[in-house]
A and B are shown apart, each in its own frame.
Chain A
Amino acid sequence: MKEGVIGILGLGAMGQIIAKDLHDSFKGKVVYLVRNPSSIKEIAKKYRAEVRIVDISKPESLVKAFKGIDVIIHAVHHEFNVRVMEACLEANCHYVDLGGLFHFTREQLKLNEEFKRKRLTAVIGMGASPGITNVLAKYGAQGLEKVEAVQIRIGMKDFSKYKRVSPLSASYSLQTLLEEFSWKPAVWKNGKMVFVEPLSGREPYVFPKPIGKQKPQYTIHSELATLPFTLRAKNVSFKIAFDDDFVEKVMLLKRLGLTKDEEIEIKHNKINIKSFLVEVLKQLPKSIPKKIEQYEIIRVVVKGIKEKKSKTIILDTKIHSVNETIDKETGVPPSIVAQFILSNQIKERGVFPPELIIPAESFFKELTKRKIFIFQNNKRIN
C-alpha cells in the first residue's frame, strides 16, 4: 500500500474511532486537525499523530491546515460538509465524510465537476449508515433487471451493564439525532420523493436474534438522496429503531420547544435554541459501563426482478461489540476508504456516494479484518 498522509478533521467520538483504526491499519502519516489540541494530547501521543489547529468557522484556516495532506476525513458535523469540501479543492486533498443527512448530501453532489477538474475524489456518506448501507444496496441490486424496493432498517440492543446511566444517552451525535427527530424524513415512493412526518412509520419489525422485535421509524437520511437514482429503484426507505424511553424523552424536549431551530433573546443576546440545547446536553454525565455488550444489525433488503421472477435479497451487517464501543462500524469505513484512495483501489475522480465507487469485495474483506461481518440471506459472505 502506498503510504501517504491522512488528516482527520475533528477528534470527537467518531474521529477517535477513525484515529484508532488508522493507527492499527495504516502505515503512513496521520494528522489530527482540531480546534483545541489540549483535549487530544494523550491520543495524539499514543498514536504518534501530528496535531494541527484549525477553526472550522474560517475557511482560510482549513486550507492552510490541509496543505500537504492527501485525504481529509471529515468527522465534524455535516453542516460544514460543503465548506470542508471547498477547502479540500483549494488545498488539493481528496475527501471522505460520514454523511450529509439528505439535504447536505444534495448540495455536496453539486461539487462533482470541480472535484473532477481538480483530479480529486470525494466519497460522501461513508460511515455505517450511510456508507455500509449504500454498498450493500448496490451489492444486492447487482444482477437484478429491475429494483422494486430498497428497505434499510437499523436495529440495536444494548446488553451492557452500567455503573451509571446517563439521563439521555445517545449512540451518536446528539445534534444529528435532534435533526433526525425534527426534519421531515424523505421516502422514495413509486418513483417520487415524499416527505413524511418525523417519527412516523413506527411499526413493529422483527430483526434477527438477539435483537428481536423493535419499532423502527422513518428518519431523514443520506441514502435517500442517492439510491433512488443510482439504483433506479422504485421505492427506497430508511428506518431506524430507538428504544421507547429515548424516543419519549426526545419528543418531550420537542414538545417543550427546546429543539426549535430558531433564535431566542436572552438578556439582550440572541441565541439559537437547538444549538444551545446541544451544548446543555453535552454537559450531561456520560454512562459509565461495567461491561459493554451491544448488538447492532444494519439491514438492507433489496427486492427486484431477475429473469422475470421476484427476488428478495436480505443483507445484514451484524456487529456484536464486547468491551468496545458499537460505533466502530461508523468510524472504520472512512478509514478503509481513505486508504483505498491512497492505494489507487479507488481511481475515479469526482464526488461519489459509496454505491458508485466502493469495490464491494475488497471493502467486505477489510470489514472482516475488523470483525464486522456481512450476511446474505442469513449466510455469512465475508
Chain B
Amino acid sequence: MKVDFVVLGATGDQGRICSKDLLQAGYTVLLAGRNPDPIQDLLKNKKASFMQVDVRDIKKTAKVIKDSGAKIVLNCVELTWNIEVMKACLLANAHYLDLGGLQEMTIKQYKLEREFKKRKLLALLGCGSTPGIANVMAKHAVEQFDKVDHIDLGFAWDSNIKEFVIPYSIESIVYELTTPAIVLEKGKFKKSKACYFEGTNKFRGVGLQNLYCIVHSEVYTFHKYFKKMGLKNVHYTAGFPEHSHRVIKFLIDLGFSSKEEITVKGTPITILDFTREVLKKKKHPKNYEETENVWVKVTGVDEDMNKTIMMECLTTTLKGYEEAGSNINTGMSISIMGQLFLKGKIDKIGILAPEACVPSQDFFEELAKRKMFVYQDGKKIN
C-alpha cells in the first residue's frame, strides 16, 4: 500500500505526537522505528503500519522509504542521525523534514543542498516548535519591516506542579546546556560560555523565568535568510523553570549526561542511554499541566521609524496528549508542515528553513486548530 508519509523515529516522543496528528487528519502513515511497543495504540488505526528501521543503515532505510511509496519523510529521530536520514531520502527520492539540528548539525546539513536541488527535492530543516514555529513567526514579523536589526528569541515554560519531568529530548537538553552558545553580534557569529545566565523576564502564560543563553539553529538560519534585510544581531535564550533547571544541572554535574560507556556484565552501556531510559519511566504527576511560550522579538525600521514586534505562541497541555505536556508544539508542527507541503502550499526545493518557505497564515490557522495560539504584540492573531 502506498502511504502519504513515512515518520522515522515514530516510536519516540515526538514521532508519536507527529504520527497521531497525521492519522487524526486521515493520512496513511508508515511508522518506522526500532521497537513498536510504545505505539501499539496508534497501530490500531487502519491507516497506520509499522516497519522496523535502524537509521544508521542508510541503504535499508532508503529501501523502506521507497517501498512505502511515500514522497515525504518526517524525521523525528534524534538529531545526531539527520545526515544519515537525509542521505536515505536522496537515495529513495523523497522529500525530507526534520525537527532541527542545533547549529553544528544544521551547518553540515546545508552541505547537501546541491544534491537535493539536483533531484528536485526539498529538505526542510527545523520544523518543530523552536526551530519551527519560532521561524515562521520571525518571518511573519520581518515581513512587516523595511529593515531589521535585531532578533531576540527563545522559549520559556513552566508547569502547575513543580515536579521534575523531562521537558524534551535529554540529548538536546544536554547539548544545549553544555555546548558554548553562539550569538550573532554586529553581523558576526560569536561563541560564548555554555548556558550562561542572562537574568529574568516575564512571559505571557508562564510568568517570571530565568533566562539562559544557549546554542540554537535559528541564530544561523535567521542570518542566512534575513541578512539581506540588514539583520546583524540574533540572540537565543532558554527559559527553564528553576525546579527543572536545577535538576538538569544536577544530573549533568553528576555525570549522567556523559556519552561514556560503563561495562556491565561484559556489555557496554552508554551513561546517557541509561539516564534517558530511567527518566522516561518517571510518570507525570496527576493533573500535571505545562504551558510553553515560544517567542520572537524583532527590532528594526519601518517607514523610517524604529519599531519592535513581539510574537508569541502559547501551548498548553492538550486533552489526549497529557503525557506530552507542552511538547505537542514540536511533533504537531512537523506534521502540519508536512501536510502543507503535500497540499502544495510549500512549493520550493533545496535545503531550506521554515522562515524561507512556510506560509505563515496557513500555518498559524493549523496551530489554532490544535489550541496553539499566536500573539502579535499581545493580540491573538489566529
Q: How far is the CA of A27 from the CA of B279 in the complex (A)?
A: 53
CB contact between B282 and one of A257, A279, A283, A284 (< 8 Å): that residue: A257
B165 to A: closest C-beta gap in Å:
10
Stretch of A44-52, A143-151, A206-214, A262-270 with 4 or more beta carbons under 8 angstroms from chain B: A262-270
Stretch of A8-16, A132-140, A248-256 with 4 or more beta carbons under 8 angstroms from chain B: A248-256
CB contact between B278 and one of A258, A281, A284 (< 8 Å): that residue: A258
Residues of chain B within 8 A (CB-CB) of A162 are: none
Are A269 and B267 in contact, CB atoms less than 8 angstroms apart? yes
Residues of chain B within 8 A (CB-CB) of A280 are: 254-256, 258, 262, 271, 274
Are A249 and B255 in contact, CB atoms less than 8 angstroms apart? no
**Per-residue contact bits, chain B 250-283, to A (CB 8 Å; 1 contact, 0 not):** 1101111010101011010101011001110110
Question: What residue of chain A has the Cβ atom nearest to residue B273's Cβ?
Answer: A266
Q: B164 within 8 Å of A by Cβ?
A: yes
CB contact between B279 and one of A249, A257, A266, A284 (< 8 Å): that residue: A257
Residues of chain A within 8 A (CB-CB) of B253 are: 167
Q: How far is the CA of A323 from the CA of B264 in the complex (A)?
A: 36
Given A255-B164, A279-B264: A264 touches B256 (CB 8 Å cut-off)? no
A244 to B: closest C-beta gap in Å:
15
B192 to A: closest C-beta gap in Å:
24
Q: B247 within 8 Å of A by Cβ?
A: yes
Q: A376 within 8 Å of B by Cβ?
A: no
Question: What residue of chain B has the Cβ atom nearest to residue A279's Cβ?
Answer: B262
Q: How far is the CA of A264 from the CA of B262 in the complex (A)?
A: 15
Main DSSP-derived SS at the B contact region:
mixed
CB contact between A273 and one of B254, B260, B271, B278 (< 8 Å): that residue: B278
Residues of chain B within 8 A (CB-CB) of A276 are: 262, 264, 269, 274
Main DSSP-derived SS at the A contact region:
mixed
Residues of chain A within 8 A (CB-CB) of B255 are: 280-281, 283-284
Q: How far is the CA of A265 from the CA of B281 in the complex (A)?
A: 11
Residues of chain A within 8 A (CB-CB) of B273 are: 266-267
Are A252 and B247 in contact, CB atoms less than 8 angstroms apart? yes
Q: How far is the CA of A249 from the CA of B249 in the complex (A)?
A: 12
Q: A168 within 8 Å of B by Cβ?
A: yes
**Per-residue contact bits, chain A 168-203, to B (CB 8 Å; 1 contact, 0 not):** 100000000000000000000000000000000000
B221 to A: closest C-beta gap in Å:
33
Residues of chain B within 8 A (CB-CB) of A283 are: 255, 258, 260, 262
Q: A275 within 8 Å of B by Cβ?
A: yes
Q: How far is the CA of A276 from the CA of B282 in the complex (A)?
A: 17
Q: How far is the CA of A353 from the CA of B253 in the complex (A)?
A: 40
Given A269-B267, A280-B271, A280-B274: A167 touches B282 (CB 8 Å cut-off)? no
Q: A247 within 8 Å of B by Cβ?
A: no
Are B269 and A266 in contact, CB atoms less than 8 angstroms apart? yes
**Per-residue contact bits, chain A 230-261, to B (CB 8 Å; 1 contact, 0 not):** 00000000000000000001001001111000
Are B254 and A264 in contact, CB atoms less than 8 angstroms apart? no
B255 to A: closest C-beta gap in Å:
6
Q: How far is the CA of A334 from the CA of B257 in the complex (A)?
A: 39
Question: What residue of chain A has the Cβ atom nearest to residue B247's Cβ?
Answer: A252
Question: What residue of chain B has the Cβ atom nearest to residue A269's Cβ?
Answer: B267
Are B269 and A269 in contact, CB atoms less than 8 angstroms apart? yes
Question: What residue of chain B has the Cβ atom nearest to residue A273's Cβ?
Answer: B278
- 8 pairs across A/B with beta carbons < 8 Å? A256-B278, A258-B256, A264-B281, A269-B264, A279-B262, A280-B258, A283-B255, A283-B262
Q: Which 4 A-B pairs have the closest CB atoms?
A: A167-B253, A269-B267, A279-B262, A271-B264
Residues of chain A whose beta carbon lies under 8 Å from any beta carbon of chain B:
167-168, 249, 252, 255-258, 264-267, 269, 271, 273, 275-276, 279-281, 283-284
